[in-house]
Amino acid sequence: MPPSPLDILHSVFGYTEFRGPQQAIVDQLIEGGDALVLMPTGGGKSLCYQIPALVRQGTGIVVSPLIALMQDQVDALREADVSAAYLNSSLGAEDQREVERRLLAGELNLLYVAPERLLTPRFLGLLESTEVALFAIDEAHCVSQWGHDFRPEYRELAVLHQRFPQIPRIALTATADQRTRDEIVERLALQDARQFVSSFDRPNIRYQVGLRHNARRQLMEFLERHRGETGIVYALSRRKVDETATWLTEAGIEALPYHAGLDAATRNANQRRFLREDGVVMVATVAFGMGIDKPDVRFVAHLDLPRSMEGYYQETGRAGRDGLPSDAWMIYGLSDVVTMSQMIAQSESADERKRVERQKLESQLAYAEATQCRRELLLAAFGETFHGPCGHCDNCIEPPKTWDATVPAQKALSAVYRSGQRFGSGHVISILRGEDSTRMTDLGHDRLSTFGIGADMDEKQWRSVFRQLLAMGLLEADAEGFGTLRLSKASREVLVGNRSVRLREDATPARASRRRRDS
């Protein structure tokens, strides 16, 4: 009789009990069924396929997109006396043959393999002459062309279902939006799979968002509170990553850069130091992090607005995997939205994809500008209802002050409209403030009825109004990404006086934490 899953959990992995849905998932596979598992990072996805692979006859084949991750997993399994190996481009010809020999001899419990390798006719042939316990498709969101981890080979993995219909398959991901979920089911032919959707709530993470006015000083103040702790600082561009890592180092903080522009050796060395040492701050682009399993990351800081809520969730989710209090801190500015709209517009993507990316960016902006509990909003983005408020995000600790901005909003919208919906916020603000210049006169904008009607507010206040109108969908940025503003369908309601507008007073994220320390 094969050992029971619980025996294996105890004897091989040394844990006392299954966590959350693990037991049900393990049973589903042992019985030969398929599963789709959506579980946040750190939730314990690996055991969901490792244990059934040990219970069932044959080798569990694990498709994984990340070479570094395969190595770590295999090392950990070998330490637990599980016979595991991996096949990827990092192995020499000799080692590859040895792994294949062990596979054919039935000596392996688990084999990790890169998708491009798995899909070769040769490897699929090998699989036909061995006993396969199950197929696990890790990071399954890589099938989605809308996500930034898209891997074209993942789309061909449906071949596993066609060639090995009897063998159970499990797809796993920490990305949970409905669109991605549907795409995984469709692309991997998982229509009959049982879906296991875990809560994405991360109660130990304190979310804080604020406006960027002096990034270095703000970051420094934040890092002061995390002296000597491990953390990640995300920035949008490689250049900003390099610059930030340099000045942090000069300021006496152990900071290392990570982005796709660095050579592989440097990247690996930096990643290793981050994982093995205590108190390293990794300054990185989004290229860093998939599969990073370091339990004691105490903070994740964003210096720019992330591209999407999924990205934000994944990135902030790398904090506090040990369950201890951790900070997800972010600063951003309106310029981020302009820069990113431009990046989207100038990319090679199809229009449909650009539209989706713009929507994602808009949701992210709306989250940043919101006055509600952050955790409530974050979970809502994944279709989950959280009965907050959470009590420890910035908006909960100190509810943002709001003000009735209906009249300024009407002025702003009509200035956009009267100037022909062809200008960015800078110029429209100049119109509102009645600023004379040759350009203004040349355009004839000094003769508009909206010229000077907003002189009672300064430029900074107007910028705040425009940013929030954009976040609320009361203004739209143009598709070409030049920062041009136009009215949306919802704008009309405001213009005709059917809808009032409340906006938040701008604040910095430092505020929430200062308050917490005092209390």
Work out how close the CB of 22 gets to ligand ADP at its nearest, in angstroms, rounded to a whole number. Answer: 6
Q: How many CA atoms lie within 13 A of 276 on its CB side?
A: 7
Work out how close the CB of 394 gets to Zn ion at its nearest, in angstroms, rounded to a whole number. Answer: 8
On whether the CB atoms of residues 48 and 26 are closer than 8 A, the answer is: yes
Name which position in 153, 201, 293, 459 contacts ligand ADP (CB under 6 A): 293
Per the listing, tokens 């200008």 go with 423
Dihedral sign, CA of 346, 145, 335, 481?
Answer: positive
Residue type, 451: F
Work out how close the CB of 151 gets to ligand ADP at its nearest, in angstroms, rounded to a whole number. Answer: 18
Is 18 among the residues that bind ligand ADP (CB under 6 A)? Answer: yes
Position closest to ligand ADP via CB: 44
Which of ligand ADP, Zn ion, none binds 45 (CB below 5-8 Å, type-dependent)?
ligand ADP
Which of ligand ADP, Zn ion, none binds 15 (CB below 5-8 Å, type-dependent)?
ligand ADP
Considering beta carbons, is residue 41 or 491 the nearer one to ligand ADP? Answer: 41
Give me the long-range contacts of 413-418 (CB less than 8 A, separation at least 24). 413/469, 413/474, 413/475, 413/487, 413/491, 413/494, 413/495, 414/450, 414/495, 415/448, 415/450, 415/453, 415/454, 416/475, 416/485, 416/486, 416/487, 417/487, 417/495, 418/448, 418/449, 418/450
Size of the site for ligand ADP (CB under 6 A): 13
What's the rounded Cα separation, in Å, for the pair 394 and 328? Answer: 10
In sequence order, the β-bridge partners of residue 403 are: 503
What's the rounded Cα separation, in Å, for the pair 439 and 427? Answer: 10
Considering beta carbons, is residue 50 or 364 the nearer one to ligand ADP? Answer: 50
User: ∠ CA 276-53-114 to the nearest 5 degrees?
Assistant: 60
Name which position in 47, 167, 170, 494 contacts ligand ADP (CB under 6 A): 47
Considering beta carbons, is residue 256 or 378 the nearer one to Zn ion? Answer: 378
Work out how close the CB of 329 gets to ligand ADP at its nearest, in angstroms, rounded to a whole number. Answer: 22
SS3 489: coil
Work out how close the CB of 46 gets to ligand ADP at its nearest, in angstroms, rounded to a whole number. Answer: 3
Considering beta carbons, is residue 389 or 452 the nearer one to Zn ion? Answer: 389
User: Which residues, other chains included, contact 417 with Cβ-Cβ below 8 Å and sequence gap of 6+?
Assistant: 487, 495
Is 39 among the residues that bind ligand ADP (CB under 6 A)? Answer: yes
On whether the CB atoms of residues 331 and 211 are closer than 8 A, the answer is: yes
Tokens of 58: 């044959």
Is 313 among the residues that bind ligand ADP (CB under 6 A)? Answer: no
Residue type, 319: A
> Which residues from 407-466 bind ligand ADP, rule CB under 6 A?
none
- Convert 2-15 to b/e letters by CB count within 10 Å (16 or more is b): eeebeebbeebbee
Name which position in 15, 123, 164, 247 contacts ligand ADP (CB under 6 A): 15
Considering beta carbons, is residue 47 or 370 the nearer one to ligand ADP? Answer: 47
Considering beta carbons, is residue 45 or 463 the nearer one to ligand ADP? Answer: 45
Work out how close the CB of 374 gets to Zn ion at its nearest, in angstroms, rounded to a whole number. Answer: 5
Work out how close the CB of 249 gets to ligand ADP at its nearest, in angstroms, rounded to a whole number. Answer: 30
- From the list 44-52, 86-94, 216-224, 457-465, the region that binds ligand ADP by CB under 6 A is 44-52
> Which residues from 320-379 bind Zn ion, rule CB under 5 A?
373, 375
Which of Zn ion, ligand ADP, none binds 289 (CB below 5-8 Å, type-dependent)?
none
- Convert 400-433 to b/e letters by CB count within 10 Å (16 or more is b): beeeebeebbbbbbbbbbebeeebbbebbbbbbb
For residue 457, CA distances in Å to 181, 465, 474 come to: 46, 10, 20
Considering beta carbons, is residue 285 or 314 the nearer one to ligand ADP? Answer: 314
Q: Are strands 502-504 and 402-404 parallel, antiparallel or unpaired?
A: antiparallel
Residue type, 117: R
Is 390 among the residues that bind Zn ion (CB under 5 A)? Answer: yes
Name which position in 262, 396, 471, 512 contacts Zn ion (CB under 5 A): 396
Q: Are strands 485-487 and 326-332 parallel, antiparallel or unpaired?
A: unpaired
Q: How many CA atoms lie within 13 A of 68 on its CB side?
A: 15
Considering beta carbons, is residue 6 or 495 the nearer one to ligand ADP? Answer: 6
- From the list 18-26, 268-276, 323-331, 342-350, the region that binds ligand ADP by CB under 6 A is 18-26
Query: Any idea how long the chain is?
Result: 519
- From the list 12-20, 123-131, 296-304, 366-374, the region that binds ligand ADP by CB under 6 A is 12-20
Name which position in 19, 102, 148, 238 contacts ligand ADP (CB under 6 A): 19
Name which position in 42, 115, 231, 289 contacts ligand ADP (CB under 6 A): 42
Sites of contact with ligand ADP (CB under 6 A):
15, 18-19, 22, 39, 41-47, 293
Sites of contact with Zn ion (CB under 5 A):
373, 375, 389-390, 393, 396
